[in-house]
Amino acid sequence: MLAISPRKVVHIIYLAREGAVGEAQVHAFMDALNDDEKASLTAVAWVGRGAFEPEDYAEAVATAITEATTPTADYLLGMPHLAENLENGLEELGIDVTGEEEDFLKQGS
């Protein structure tokens, strides 16, 4: 369903939580994503903030592709509560990222 791996979304969530410290890293990480991953990431954030319902995820992806006028990283980093929106979006879409979170935390240790 997602064109981006949940592991990458978790990585972005953790970087986004670091605030200004992680901003350059998350910007670079998002810039390296392909267009499908960027659209999928944006759609997950939109589902997480309630702009789209989980069952309208495909429509959210299509909207993200057709309405992209600014770089994805700039757009998403300007979104209040990005990390929470991504977390909520994954949850709303029924994607369990517990394993990815544990792996990410182990790598950071």
pLDDT in tens, the chain (109 residues): 799 999 999 999 988 888 777 788 999 999 999 999 999 999 999 999 999 999 999 999 999 999 989 999 999 999 999 999 999 999 999 998 877 766 666 665 4
The amino acid that residue 69 corresponds to is: T
CA atoms within a 13 Å half-sphere pointing along the CA-CB vector of 46: 22
Q: Quote the CA–CA distance of 16 and 33 in Å, as a whole number.
A: 16
Domain boundaries, the chain: 6-102
Burial of residue 10, with CB atoms counted within 10 A of its CB: 0-12 exposed, 13-18 middle, 19 or more buried? buried
